[in-house]
Amino acid sequence: MPDSIPRSIATGEIRWHVDFIAGLARTLRPEVYVELGVHTAELFNRVIPFAGQAIGVDMDPEAGRYISDAANVRFFCGTTDSFLDEISSSGLKIDMLFVDADHSRASVLQDFRGYFPHVRPQGLILLHDSNPDKELIDPAWCGDGYLAVEELSRKADNYEMVTIPLSPGLTICRKRTRHLSWEEPDTDGMRPARWGVRDGSNAAPADTTAKPPGRMSAFVRGVRSLLG
């Protein structure tokens, strides 16, 4: 481990991805969310209320202790490779995948390529630490996983990628063969992801953190004022 902790880590300002991804999940309501590398579940627990099913994968059993208990949650204690073995036989289909486990170039490439076939067409793959400041390019911090993203972001026909250029960087990949999501055909027998389903079928039973939308707030304010 390096002698000193980089300022952006010490202040916590590198953690902007937590609000960003939780907000994305809140808007998109993934049917199946998978996070590779959960750590203290700060992000994972924020996504749970917005996912039909939320699966956290971490080889450190400690990670499981941080995960909130909910009906739609599963913790898989093991490597990303071993969970891939499991879903290769179970046929799990993923709508939103967050790749945030081993940050070496080789592992990020392996996770991306291994899980890609299990992500639905029009599904999203998020890759963390893809644009780190120079001082963060160290195996103790962000590793060299950004090299994998550099390689993967070259032209491909079946996905597109954009990297948010704020350190440590977050890359959003959309698996697609068509630009218009509603023109996307089934691929390998998989129907495309359905986003933003708000009829409740994608929401966890206890969506306690979701605030009511604007019109509902006005309604609630009205009722409150009537009640004095």
Ligand X SMILES: C[S@@+](CC[C@H](N)C(=O)[O-])C[C@H]1O[C@@H](n2cnc3c(N)ncnc32)[C@H](O)[C@@H]1O
Query: Can you give the binding site for ligand X, defined by CB under 6 A?
Result: 35, 37-39, 42-43, 57-60, 63, 79-80, 100-102
- Residues 129 and 148 sit within 8 Å (Cβ to Cβ): no
- Minimum CB separation of residue 21 from ligand X in Å reads 8
Exposure b/e, 134-166, CB count within 10 A at least 16 = b:
eebbeeebbbbbbbbbeebbeeeeebebebeee
C-alpha 6/C-alpha 11 separation (Å) is 9
C-alpha 134/C-alpha 168 separation (Å) is 10
For ligand X, the closer CB: 19 or 60? 60
- Minimum CB separation of residue 58 from ligand X in Å reads 5
Residue number, nearest CB to ligand X:
37
- Minimum CB separation of residue 17 from ligand X in Å reads 6
For ligand X, the closer CB: 28 or 47? 47
For ligand X, the closer CB: 52 or 78? 78
Phi/psi for 74 (5° steps) reads -140, 135
The gap from C-alpha 197 to its chain's centroid, in whole angstroms, comes to 17
For ligand X, the closer CB: 102 or 184? 102
For ligand X, the closer CB: 43 or 87? 43
C-alpha 141/C-alpha 139 separation (Å) is 5
For ligand X, the closer CB: 43 or 204? 43
CA distances from 59 to 45, 82, 144, 153 (A): 18, 10, 20, 28
- Minimum CB separation of residue 169 from ligand X in Å reads 13
Write the single-letter amino acid at 170. L
- Minimum CB separation of residue 185 from ligand X in Å reads 32
Q: Helix H segments across 48-203?
A: 61-66, 80-90, 105-115, 145-152
- Minimum CB separation of residue 42 from ligand X in Å reads 5
